[in-house]
Amino acid sequence: MNSRLQELSNCGFKITPQRRLILDILQKSDRPLTAEETAERIKKKEPRISVATIYRNLNLLVEIGVLSKLEIADAAARFQINQGHNHHLLCLGCGAAIKIGICPLQGRVEELIQEHGFSVDSHYFEITGYCRECQLKETGK
């Protein structure tokens, strides 16, 4: 059985067809999807699924670490299979997320946090813009 489904089970949650579908869609996608995009794709197989179910389960899957959530300023959050802590170049055209293996929460920034006695809850680092493909779509042709 799919190890990500297994993880649901391990945590005491039930394996429902809806959860199978959500995971399936996200595993097949080459880029993170919004809740709405996930819903659209699922509805082709199972038109009766509720968007509340999508949101509920995307959040649940994030909580148990199977998915990760990209918070994007002034736009819908995007969800993807968790590949560890990362930051991205986010394309506003196609939704692609290009991983950058650098976290700014280090060095001088961490020192400043110490100096101010600040207790960190979370951090966000995101770069929005347009990927090469989306730029060509605009300009060329």
Q: Which residues bind DNA (CB under 7 A)?
A: 9, 12-19, 34-36, 46, 48-53, 55-57, 59, 75-77
Contacting Mn ion within 76-135 (CB under 5 A):
103, 105
At 91 the three-state DSSP class reads strand
127 in Cβ contact with 89 (< 8 Å): yes
12 in Cβ contact with 60 (< 8 Å): no
Task: Give the shortest CB-25-to-Zn ion separation in angstroms.
Answer: 20
Partner from Mn ion, DNA, a second copy, none binding residue 124, C-beta < 5-8 Å depending on class:
a second copy
100 touches a second copy (CB under 8 A): yes
Task: Give the shortest CB-42-to-Zn ion separation in angstroms.
Answer: 23
121 touches a second copy (CB under 8 A): yes
DSSP string covering 12-52 = T----HHHHHHHHHHHH-SS-EEHHHHHHHHHTT-TT--HH
